[in-house]
Structure 1
Amino acid sequence: MGQKPEAEVIELTLPARSEYVSIARLTVSGVANRMGFGYEEIEDIKLAVAEACTNVVEHAYGEQGWEPFRILCRLYSDRLVIEVIDRGKGFGFDEKRDGLKPIRVDIDIDEVVEGGLGLYLIHSVMDEVRVTTEDGVKVAMTKYLRQDEVSSDDRSITKTEA
């Protein structure tokens, strides 16, 4: 018998066309709901996925046409990791990071330059974001599942005498 995998993986391949972004949003919404995320967290996840997919549609393939891109959802017991992966032209993230003003904490949102808002939104609503630019672009976004806000550690409960 094989061992249980560390994460369950759901993979979706879509054409890099704007009309398919809603399918990506709907898919991750269903996955996040099944995992137990709350309404606001699901809305944040949908926003981040839509922004990452829109970046693929608008920037990955240029005049080459509509190539497919992939979305991988990795379901762990404590988190959801969503990877949006294309094989289009990379953009030298390390060199451009400093120019993407919204990612910098010291920049006011009113100073947002065109082209930086999508990454800013993704960073602001997800717990972790990693961008790699080898053979295309991969945006890996992590949202941690917070089962409840009450600690299961009974030492956090204090008894008061009446």
Structure 2
Amino acid sequence: MRSSMKRERRLKNSKLFFISFPARKRYLQIAREFVRTICALHGLDDEVAEDFVYIVGEGASNVVKHAYPDLEAENAVVEISLKVEPHLLTMAIRDYGRGFDEKKYHKLDFEDIKSKVKNRHKGGLGLFMIDRLADTLTISIDPYHKNELIIVKKI
């Protein structure tokens, strides 16, 4: 009972956290630890925290793999913001790279997934998994200006 009272006290006000790092594979663990630490500091449920750790890992990994064809680009960065509110967790994963065609992103159905598994197709499930774990997923693409995934989950 005491820990639940502590959680309520911690989550009375909203807090916004931000991190920016070079779009390189070796820095992905920083994004995961950033999210894990913020969730722990605010007493969030372990399941919610691990969902968001997975989401940031997948989203940031996609940026590193796909957003910057020239890794020497000065603005080859990944930005993560995390807003903790009393009953809502909102994360934005942002880059300034080439983006992707939103129209090609479709919600996978069971047959799509079955086909990917059967054919041992690597990749292609990241946005599907992010969408499944989030209450709301918003995708905003403006290549070389700002690309953003906004993930919202009720807590």
TM-score bucket (shorter structure): 0.7 to 0.9
**Which amino acid is 1:132 matched to?**
S
Mean CA deviation greater in 41-50 or 30-39:
30-39
Secondary structure (helix, strand or coil) at the match of 1:62 reads: coil
What is the aligned partner in structure 1 of residue 132 from structure 2?
Answer: 124
Mean CA deviation greater in 76-85 or 62-71:
62-71
CA drift of 1:64 comes to 4.4
Q: Which structure 1 residue ranges, 5 or more long, are not aligned? A: 1-5, 146-162
Counterpart CA distance in 2 for 1:40 and 1:9 is 21
Secondary structure (helix, strand or coil) at the match of 2:66 reads: helix
The answer to whether the aligner puts 1:44 opposite 2:48 as a matched pair is: no
What is the aligned partner in structure 2 of residue 139 from structure 1?
Answer: 149
One of 74, 83, 86 as aligned partner of 2:95: 86
Structure 1 length-normalised TM: 0.75
Counterpart CA distance in 2 for 1:107 and 1:140 is 27
What is the aligned partner in structure 2 of residue 157 from structure 1?
Answer: none
Aligned residues of 1:45 and 1:143 also touching (Cα < 8 A): no
Counterpart CA distance in 2 for 1:47 and 1:12 is 17
Residue by residue over 1:53-72, the C-alpha shift from the partner in whole angstroms, topping out at 9 and shown as x without a partner, is 00010001112436112111
**Which amino acid is 1:21 matched to?**
L
Change (3 A) 1:115 1:8: same
Residue by residue over 1:101-123, the C-alpha shift from the partner in whole angstroms, topping out at 9 and shown as x without a partner, is xx233535222354421111111
CA drift of 1:29 comes to 0.8
What is the aligned partner in structure 2 of residue 158 from structure 1?
Answer: none
Change (3 A) 1:23 1:80: same
What is the aligned partner in structure 2 of residue 153 from structure 1?
Answer: none
Mean CA deviation greater in 66-75 or 19-28:
66-75
Aligned residues: 135
Counterpart CA distance in 2 for 1:107 and 1:36 is 38
Find the structure with the greater CA-based Rg.
1
CA drift of 1:133 comes to 0.1
Secondary structure (helix, strand or coil) at the match of 2:81 reads: strand
Counterpart CA distance in 2 for 1:115 and 1:52 is 12
Secondary structure (helix, strand or coil) at the match of 2:148 reads: strand
Structure 2 length-normalised TM: 0.78
Mean CA deviation greater in 104-113 or 26-35:
104-113
CA drift of 1:7 comes to 3.7
Aligned residue runs from structure 1 range 37-116, under 5 A? 37-65=44-72, 67-93=76-102, 95-98=103-106, 103-112=107-116, 114-116=122-124
CA drift of 1:129 comes to 1.0
